[in-house]
Amino acid sequence: MKICITALMMLMSFSLWVNDGKSQSEEGDEGFLSGFIDLVEENRPWAKPIHRVDMDRMRELKEMGLLTFHQASWFVEVDPDER
């Protein structure tokens, strides 16, 4: 238990060092835990984050002609069983 807490504290400290506030400003005001989760799940904290959108809003904008849902090239389907 002591080792787990120590490791967690070290990783959280590393998270603070890596995330210098510039990329975090795009993610909003995140606490230590979410920063730690980001670090574990995402090895590019310096890039823009991947966003989830409001699909209803997207469809609305598409209907207004401001967006498109044009089929994109260069992607693959991901099978979770292969990860």
Partner 1 sequence: MSGRVQCVLCPHLCELAPGERGRCTVRLNRDGELVSLVYGRPVAVHVDPVEKKPLFHFMPGIDVFSIATAGCNLRCDFCQNWEISQATPEEVSPYHMPPEAVVESAVEYSCGAVAYTYTEPIVYFEYTRDCARLAREAGLANILVTAGYINPGPLAELAPYIDAANVDLKSMSDSYYRNTCGGTLQPVLNTITALKDSGTWVEVTNLVVPTMNDSDDDIDALASWVLNNAGAETPLHFSRFFPMYRMTDLPPTPVDTLKRARERALEIGLHHVYVGNAVTSDGMMTVCPRCGRPLIERHGYMVTSKRIRNGCCDYCSAPVAGVWNGTEDL
Rounded least distance, CB 81 to partner 1, Å: 9
Contact 67, 55 (CB under 8 A): no
51 touching partner 1, by CB under 8 A: yes
The Cα-based distances of 8 to 5, 31, 36, 37, 40 in angstroms read: 5, 14, 9, 11, 11
Show contacts with partner 1 in window 52-81 (CB under 8 A). Answer: 52-53, 55, 57-58, 61, 65-80
User: C-alpha angle with apex 42: 39 to 47, nearest 5 degrees?
Assistant: 105
Q: How far, in Å, CA of 57 to CA of 8, rounded?
A: 39
Rounded least distance, CB 4 to partner 1, Å: 28
41 touching partner 1, by CB under 8 A: no
Q: Which of 10, 26, 32, 33 binds partner 1 (CB under 8 A)?
A: 26
Binding site for partner 1 (CB under 8 A): 20, 22-23, 26, 44, 46-53, 55, 57-58, 61, 65-80
